[in-house]
A and B are shown apart, each in its own frame.
Chain A
Amino acid sequence: MTRVLELDGITKRFGTTLANDDVSLHLEKGEVVALLGENGAGKTTLMSILFGHYTADEGSVRVNGETLPPGKSRAAIDAGVGMVHQHFALAANLTVLDNVMTGTEPLWRLRSDRAAARARLTRLSERFGLPVDPDAHVSDLSVGERQRVEILKALYNDARILILDEPTAVLTTQQSERLFATLREMTAQGLSIIFISHKLNEVMAASDRVVVLRGGRVVAERATRETTKEELAELMVGRAVERPKRPPAQPGAVRLEVTDLHLSGKGGAALNGVSLMLRGGETLGIIGVSGNGQTTLAGVVSGLYPPDRGTVKIDGAELRRHDVPHAIAAGIGRIPEDRHAEGVLGDMTTWENVALERLWAPEFSRRGIVRRSAARAAARHILATYDVRGAHLDGRVGLLSGGNMQKLILGRVLEADPSIIVAAQPSRGLDEGAIAGVHRRLIAARDRGAGVLLISEDLDEVIALSDRIRAIVNGRVSPAIPAERADARLLGLMMAGDWDAAREIEAAADKMPEAQDAL
């Protein structure tokens, strides 16, 4: 094996924060190394130093034995290092070709050779199986396609070492699988890869070696074959993380009743006749391959779009008007799938975000005037109770990390004491510690008598939190099975649309006395 990359004793401080503390790391040719660590562990900082975006306080970077000059992205690019950023560095208004070509030719040339660039891009995208339309505007591309463009950009610069910063944070499960297949193909062609992640499943599945970073230091290094998820989780968090246990449910009165919902064309996939029922004190998990209508279902239940046909009853009553304010007033608490787009307004302050969703409630406004002190008090209470770190009442919410933003949203929802909680992908992008916290809160809310509609792609999460589980396929929901009966095979069948086994289980469960008055 030849060593293509060596980081040696890297230390980096931001003010008083020690982001990297004497970190050493190496990469062999053709290897996939996972850099594992919780949010804030210093992963992005380390890779930004390697890429010349930051300058290290101490330590050096060697590529193929040559030391890179610090703080020069160009030098890193020329040495064959390519970086796929966590927040893509793309221009939405420009075409794919424009994005890929920027900075690849001498600036003062009188004419850029677009034909040659196009040919080269096409060749690369064929060779690595990354199809893109060079003339498409980036704004018209899906997240997965944008990531492809980012990877192609690196390959176009002749990258031999590819660094991907949390590449799957924005991808669906299938997209992630396809990405890892592509990465394998690349190593077969002689590239070497570091990918950053805090997801144990994908680290186990896609890497050859794992380097665990915690609090800015390397705490362990393992060959992936010789370690387990449990060991890695403990190394990453620094203690054994326990996801909370779910006590048996005490189902109460019916809280949410959805009958024969139809909706086409809004918010993605259609609904083709969804009926389901949710009691207080229980959690109903909805699993499914993304794009089968789960986002639409969450949207309809939380009032975002009115259905074409069918009814939504909350605590026995239909909404007077089908919109978000009425849904929230009726007792819906929404934890949206895309925190940044639908959960908070990043440019507004913490207290404003806390008050906004229920601004018309007497608690937060009176005769059209916002009750600032009450809103600020509520926000202060949430920051303290839900352990939202790094937030200030008057600070911009957009600056919070994902985990803390989610805690704030949870606090806002739970403090309103909703009768139904619609939680869509509640732990997406969060690290282990934060996930455990979110789960604990959702279980506690259920035990206080709320009905929880949990929509998630993460099967472990659904099994851990739900009392009953349904799959959604093509805008229809499967029969519900009790979580105790769930195993990977059965859930797989349900998600594939084969519902015979589930139907039998549901019928058997319905015979039990406590479910008699179900509908």
Chain B
Amino acid sequence: MSVVLDILSSVGMWEAILRIATPFILGTLGVLLCERVGVLNLGIEGIMTFGAMIGWLTVYMGAGLWAGLLVAALCGAMFGLLHALLTVPLGLNQHVTGLGITLFASSFSYYIFRLAVPTATSPPTVEPFRALEVPVLSDIPFLGPVLFNQTAPTCLALGLVLVIAWVLYRTPLGLAIRMTGENPHAVDAQGIDPIWLRIGTIMAGSALMGLAGAFLTLAAFNSFFPTMVQGRGWICIALVVFALWRPGRALLGAVLFAFFDAFQLRLQTVVDGVPYQLFLMLPYVLSILALVVMARRARVPQALMVPYRRGER
């Protein structure tokens, strides 16, 4: 028991949580946008991989870290456009299209990576984002390092939670987006084209997925390796359900998952005689439990995965 308390009271663990949570926050926001407008985007796993690779490559080739993030977001948006064109105007099956994009984007990432660094045996590193030590505030004991000793992309992710919550709930555009996910016919009847709205929103959401990937290479691991996303994208899909499709809860879900993850990492190192795989399972098992509890209350967007065709009843 005291082991658990030791872990829970260490600054290091709490400091790690927001860092671990960042890709989940960004990815979950991305999925949330897509689903709010009525489209499932299983391309996330691949789009994150591609974002991780292209962000890293941009910086490796000599551009700045922010340029890396920007390129990753743009590439994410392009994959989003592909997904949107296939699923929205053509109305193809969203599961199949999304999985196809994941397979394509993951393999394509590795291909480009190999073209860029054909010979290296250990992945080349880049100089990552450093923590922004906010003067004064980061000196506050405990809370200082936990909240104010984070990297710029983490701050960006937190800011995006606010921005997306504002857009969805306070602007006419956000209302139109939510309405499209519920009943695109109603949006059309008000003279707004749900097709374009879907395409645009999916692109924005996919750009966030690209960012989520780039965070891994540019602020966490400093280099790219093809399996690095490791199912984080799938977790984001589940987190959106846990979040009941709301941005604030998406943040909560991401932080909760990161907490379990940080906790199990530390538990692994101090508890002997238990296979470490059991600890690895912990965050997943707990998310499944949380999902079971939350999903009962979920108000799923009614038009999720229902293609819209004009003039069809």
Q: Which chain A residues have a beta carbon within 8 Å of chain B's beta carbons?
A: 48, 51, 53-54, 72-75, 77, 83, 85, 87, 89-94, 98-99, 101-112, 157
Is residue B2 contacting chain A, with contact meaning CB distance below 8 A? Answer: no
Contact assessment for A73 and B311 in the assembled complex, using a CB-CB cutoff below 8 Å: no
Which residues from chain B contact A157 at a C-beta distance below 8 Å? Answer: 190
Contact assessment for B183 and A90 in the assembled complex, using a CB-CB cutoff below 8 Å: yes
Q: Name which residue of chain A comes closest to B191, CB basis.
A: A74
Contact assessment for B178 and A110 in the assembled complex, using a CB-CB cutoff below 8 Å: no
Against A, the Cβ 8 Å flags (1 = close, 0 = not) of B187-198 are 111111000000
Is residue B137 contacting chain A, with contact meaning CB distance below 8 A? Answer: no
Q: How far is the CB of A39 from chain B (nearest CB, A)?
A: 13
7 A–B pairs (Cβ distance < 8 Å), ordered by A: A74-B192, A91-B179, A91-B183, A93-B299, A93-B302, A109-B172, A112-B172
CA distance A99 to B171 in the complex (A): 14
Task: Please provide the 6 A-B residue pairs with the shortest distance between their CB atoms, ordered closest to farther.
Answer: A74-B191, A103-B190, A91-B182, A89-B186, A105-B172, A73-B191
Tell me what chain A mostly uses at the interface: helix, strand, loop, or mixed: loop
Q: How far is the CB of A10 from chain B (nearest CB, A)?
A: 16
Task: Please tell me which one of the listed residues B170, B171, B189 contacts residue A89 in the complex, with CB atoms under 8 A apart.
Answer: B189
Contact assessment for A103 and B192 in the assembled complex, using a CB-CB cutoff below 8 Å: yes
CA distance A72 to B299 in the complex (A): 32
CA distance A102 to B313 in the complex (A): 21
Contact assessment for B311 and A102 in the assembled complex, using a CB-CB cutoff below 8 Å: no
Q: Name which residue of chain A comes closest to B167, CB basis.
A: A110
Sample of 18 further A-B pairs with CB below 8 A, known A73-B191, A94-B182, A103-B176:
A48-B311, A51-B189, A53-B188, A73-B190, A75-B191, A85-B185, A93-B299, A94-B179, A98-B175, A102-B175, A103-B179, A103-B192, A104-B190, A105-B172, A108-B173, A109-B173, A111-B170, A112-B175
Q: Name which residue of chain A comes closest to B179, CB basis.
A: A102
From A77, A83, A108, A110, name the one whose CB has the most chain B CB atoms within 10 angstroms.
Answer: A110
Contact assessment for B301 and A93 in the assembled complex, using a CB-CB cutoff below 8 Å: yes
Q: How far is the CB of A100 from chain B (nearest CB, A)?
A: 10
Task: Please tell me which one of the listed residues B171, B185, B186, B188 contacts residue A112 in the complex, with CB atoms under 8 A apart.
Answer: B171
Which residues from chain B contact A108 at a C-beta distance below 8 Å? Answer: 172-173
Q: How far is the CB of A51 from chain B (nearest CB, A)?
A: 8
CA distance A105 to B189 in the complex (A): 14
CA distance A137 to B310 in the complex (A): 26
Which residues from chain A contact B183 at a C-beta distance below 8 Å? Answer: 89-92
CA distance A53 to B301 in the complex (A): 24
The verdict on A94 contacting B178 (CB below 8 Å), with A73-B188, A103-B190, A107-B192 known, is yes
CA distance A98 to B179 in the complex (A): 8
Contact assessment for B173 and A102 in the assembled complex, using a CB-CB cutoff below 8 Å: no
Q: Name which residue of chain A comes closest to B303, CB basis.
A: A91
Q: Name which residue of chain B comes closest to A75, CB basis.
A: B191
Which residues from chain A contact B186 at a C-beta distance below 8 Å? Answer: 89-91, 99, 102
CA distance A224 to B189 in the complex (A): 31
Which residues from chain A contact B178 at a C-beta distance below 8 Å? Answer: 91, 94, 98
CA distance A458 to B186 in the complex (A): 32
Contact assessment for B171 and A110 in the assembled complex, using a CB-CB cutoff below 8 Å: yes
Contact assessment for B170 and A102 in the assembled complex, using a CB-CB cutoff below 8 Å: no
Q: Which chain B residues have a beta carbon within 8 Å of chain A's beta carbons?
A: 170-173, 175-176, 178-179, 182-183, 185-192, 299, 301-302, 310-311, 313
CA distance A90 to B171 in the complex (A): 19
Which residues from chain B contact A93 at a C-beta distance below 8 Å? Answer: 182, 299, 301-302
CA distance A105 to B187 in the complex (A): 13
From B173, B185, B187, B190, name the one whose CB has the most chain A CB atoms within 10 angstroms.
Answer: B190
CA distance A73 to B185 in the complex (A): 12
Q: How far is the CB of A293 from chain B (nearest CB, A)?
A: 32
Which residues from chain A contact B189 at a C-beta distance below 8 Å? Answer: 51, 53, 73, 83, 85, 89
Which residues from chain B contact A54 at a C-beta distance below 8 Å? Answer: 311
Which residues from chain A contact B191 at a C-beta distance below 8 Å? Answer: 72-75, 77, 103
Q: Name which residue of chain B comes closest to A51, CB basis.
A: B189
Which residues from chain B contact A98 at a C-beta distance below 8 Å? Answer: 175, 178-179
Q: How far is the CB of B297 from chain A (nearest CB, A)?
A: 12
Q: Name which residue of chain B comes closest to A97, CB basis.
A: B175
Which residues from chain B contact A112 at a C-beta distance below 8 Å? Answer: 170-172, 175
From A53, A89, A104, name the one whose CB has the most chain B CB atoms within 10 angstroms.
Answer: A89
Task: Please tell me which one of the listed residues B176, B182, B302 contacts residue A107 in the complex, with CB atoms under 8 A apart.
Answer: B176
Contact assessment for B175 and A53 in the assembled complex, using a CB-CB cutoff below 8 Å: no
CA distance A336 to B172 in the complex (A): 42
Q: How far is the CB of A63 from chain B (nearest CB, A)?
A: 15
Which residues from chain B contact A74 at a C-beta distance below 8 Å? Answer: 190-192
Task: Please tell me which one of the listed residues B176, B299, B301, B302 contacts residue A102 in the complex, with CB atoms under 8 A apart.
Answer: B176
CA distance A107 to B175 in the complex (A): 9
Contact assessment for B182 and A106 in the assembled complex, using a CB-CB cutoff below 8 Å: no
CA distance A250 to B299 in the complex (A): 54
The verdict on A109 contacting B171 (CB below 8 Å), with A93-B182, A93-B299 known, is yes
The verdict on A107 contacting B172 (CB below 8 Å), with A77-B190, A92-B302 known, is yes
Which residues from chain B contact A105 at a C-beta distance below 8 Å? Answer: 172
CA distance A102 to B186 in the complex (A): 8
Which residues from chain A contact B172 at a C-beta distance below 8 Å? Answer: 101, 103-109, 112
CA distance A93 to B192 in the complex (A): 20
The verdict on A87 contacting B190 (CB below 8 Å), with A92-B182, A93-B301 known, is no
CA distance A91 to B176 in the complex (A): 11
From A48, A72, A77, A107, name the one whose CB has the most chain B CB atoms within 10 angstroms.
Answer: A107
CA distance A223 to B301 in the complex (A): 46
CA distance A112 to B188 in the complex (A): 19
Q: Name which residue of chain A comes closest to B170, CB basis.
A: A111
Which residues from chain A contact B179 at a C-beta distance below 8 Å? Answer: 91, 94, 98-99, 102-103
Q: Name which residue of chain A comes closest to B190, CB basis.
A: A103
Contact assessment for B170 and A101 in the assembled complex, using a CB-CB cutoff below 8 Å: no
Q: Name which residue of chain B comes closest to A92, CB basis.
A: B302
CA distance A137 to B114 in the complex (A): 53
CA distance A99 to B175 in the complex (A): 9
